[in-house]
Structure 1
């Protein structure tokens, strides 16, 4: 009865177009009023205690760092490096766009932020180069999903907090899968470009040109090295790394590249604060929703049901992937992680999956949700930049969607892809001790 009221009210609010964070909170309130199962102040307490976490403090700082670096000329310099590497090849601009998104993903930790920062530069540039505007938009939208796969990643921080795992180990585990997803997107971009005759920029490339662009972008390229190197080297925590990213971004934007103006800082802070507020509302209400499910022992019931469907781990994890893909089409990534991790992680562990590996599976699954309607946040951001309708983009994104699904299967059934660097780092640290 309690679970029925909780989920029914949640879906009703979603159908009424109530924002996801508010929908979750209202469904908890409705269930409390209807069933009287728990005290009325439960939601208020959870909203406060859920965000009282040191690792969670990384989220607002990474959001602010992404805003600062998007304004500070960093994204344009990253593209120049990528363009010097592959711009003269077939589909070079598309491939360079994906590479740029991979670089920026290692800075921002957010999918929509990556699309906004890179798309505003690259979509018009690709169109001027002769690319179809739909293809240009969906390329940026698909590559933008790397923002949550390549570390640092805000969803990885959330999974670490909810699942009791190290955000630093999640970051390490996301490196190879993120690169593999990026390479798979490049392969399709090349195939499509060759089919449509999208040639390179006609400029000759050379080691000298590449080194010149790398030198010009040195301050931007140092950012992921400093952030991730410091985390993996044990110099600072992910939360401290997020603060360092903010400070470095300000210094680079204001004094090194001088493209971020002092008068723009208030608007940067306002944008970051608005995004942070919406994220923390989702975190708070989703945590309350998940805690409610735990009190009602719904995760245990779901686990027993799914384990009863088959005794084959391959089949069960395939069903979990399908569930996550469906959830990702209509639920925010952070909310999905907070609600579903307590339900699905015990099942994954029972099947023999490493918690870190399963976290990467969840993140990659839900990253695909960034390009799948009706939520499809990256598509909406891309549509706002290019002016192409969501309906047209939804059709154009299908090849990239299929490409990411294929890559997801590799991530799921090849655990070494996620765990290899984690084990290497553990052995390295053990050697130092």
Structure 2
């Protein structure tokens, strides 16, 4: 049960006067390059609600970008993290280790796909996890090339900017980028020239052909892919694409890396999105939903690959911080106890029905897609040409924000509204959020 009333409440305009005061302070003190979707300053959050400093309560369809799946103050997360906080905040695992780090690594070995021997290394952020997965793949294979895909997003460090597909705002002006990164076509069913039914096999054949000819399979250390794309537009790779790539990797000694940073931890209705087509990755990167809002990330994978790096070759001062590890154990406890994978599948059933009905009514909705509590709609100017409609997307998001529904946009063309409600959101709030979205369509 949440201590915060699970009801939308608007008592001022959005943003309210106290948020506006804080925004003025922020503008003076915080670098302009750090953006915010909505300049509403949070005071409390839990379940499906964010309460701001003015006392407004917003329905949360963002989960801090897929982080607070268990809620933003889940009892088990708070309890375990508070207990750890009282014992010690830090010793550095590389100096004097502690049990929490080991317990998280054990939990990841149990939960991630595959029954092979697995090991983990813990870090602070998704970008760090991806960067370390590449390091591990390179030292294991003694190769350098890394293959990524159109519309992919992997982070904001120098290497992960190189891996990321979209220029603005992630890469613009920040180069030069890390070398030996090769981008291949993505199986984007909605925009595939010969139609979604042909997309998986055709895109896989095209990608494999390009890797073989342009890079050489023997030069590739890793194939890095999101099993359900995040920032790129919640694109679900067309069926058959991931299995074909995984098989190609296996046949050529390439490390297959599933980037599950946004899609992991029950978000898609399974513990990990790659389970949908039975993919068992060599390495899997996780972050976001892992620790109920505390900064933690991991690379988990085949023991022999994970052990390829020399002692001292992996690590970082804060990696696997004890308080964050305690939060992760609380978050995993909550996911198991409440069966949040099943809850995410229920959210998908509700959202697909409602969004499908809206698509029939408004031809601006070109595509409804996603899995579990990771759903999206792609907005177009014309359903025939599929020309992206970023203007309508921005207007709809703004209209939702004004009515107290927090939604996020994404997509290479800026024309996707994405929905990431906490898996613990109540039924009434979920439907009320969808009502607000529908009313926004009516107005716009």
TM exceeding 0.5? no
Provide the TM-score with structure 2 as the length reference. 0.30
Provide the TM-score with structure 1 as the length reference. 0.31
Instruction: Identify, as 1 or 2, the structure richer in strand.
Output: 2
Structure of higher RCO (CA pairs closer than 8 Å, 6+ residues apart): 1
Instruction: Identify, as 1 or 2, the structure richer in helix.
Output: 1
